[in-house]
Amino acid sequence: MSVSVVIPTIKGREALVERTVAAFRATLPGPDLQIVLVKERMTIGRAWNDGVPACEGEYLMLAADDVLPHPGWHEAAMQAASNDYYPAPRLDNPDGSVLATGSMGGGWILTGCSDWAPVVSSQFPFMRRELWREIGPSLEIHYFADDYIAARARSAGLIPVYREGYRMTHLEGLPGRAEMVNRSGIDRLAFEQAMCEPRWATVAV
């Protein structure tokens, strides 16, 4: 089963993206992996949207240019996605300590979850590619784009769960990210406004 991985990147992060691509290719070698690099977009949401049309794999992962997958990541994620779950990864810090075992969204990360524990969001969306027609596109924001896609996934009937084997080392905080920090407040407002649109309303019958 093949996986397409969309990796946004920007100028100045060439060393990071080279490490990331090499790690994906080392853990899923051969024709079962398609890497789609999307360069110089203003936000990760736009980059993900622009990358998906080039994807050909049975499964779709929306990644970043500073995550190093561990062996078996794709098997754990595919096991969940093939059964209508929406997998959330284990994220490790570069020193090997645990950064997150799932997310409640809005920057609220979880630690200590057991495998298959229910969560709310996934920092790196993973799904059957065919479902993007229903779940996508993302809001064209940088922060909270993952939470928006998770909300769309939940509305499509997928169940977000933490998967221990869907594991990445996140090299967050390395050069190239500081200039984007001031976007977080603007992006949060856009996310909250989108969640208030009529399609999210609950109707009593």
Query: What CATH number does the domain containing 100 carry?
Result: 3.90.550.10
More confident: 169 or 176: 169
Evaluate whether residue 85 is within a structural domain: yes
What global pTM score does this model have?
0.87
Split into its structural domains, the chain has a count of 1
How does residue 127 score in pLDDT terms, banded at 50, 70 and 90?
very high
The secondary structure of residue 40, as a DSSP letter, is: S
Evaluate whether residue 205 is within a structural domain: no
Residue 93 CA to its chain's centroid (Å):
17
Mention every residue, 6+ apart, whose C-beta is less than 8 A from residue 41.
8, 10, 47, 50
Helix (H) or strand (E) holding 68: strand 67-69
Instruction: Tell me the average pLDDT across 11-30.
Output: 95
Q: Is residue 148 pLDDT above 80, yes or no?
A: yes
Q: Which domain holds residue 35?
A: 3-200
Q: Is residue 126 pLDDT above 80, yes or no?
A: yes
Q: Is residue 98 pLDDT above 50, yes or no?
A: yes
- Which of these, 123, 145, 135, 16, lies nearest to 68 by C-alpha position? 16
Q: Is residue 40 pLDDT above 50, yes or no?
A: yes
- Predicted local confidence at residue 47, as pLDDT: 98
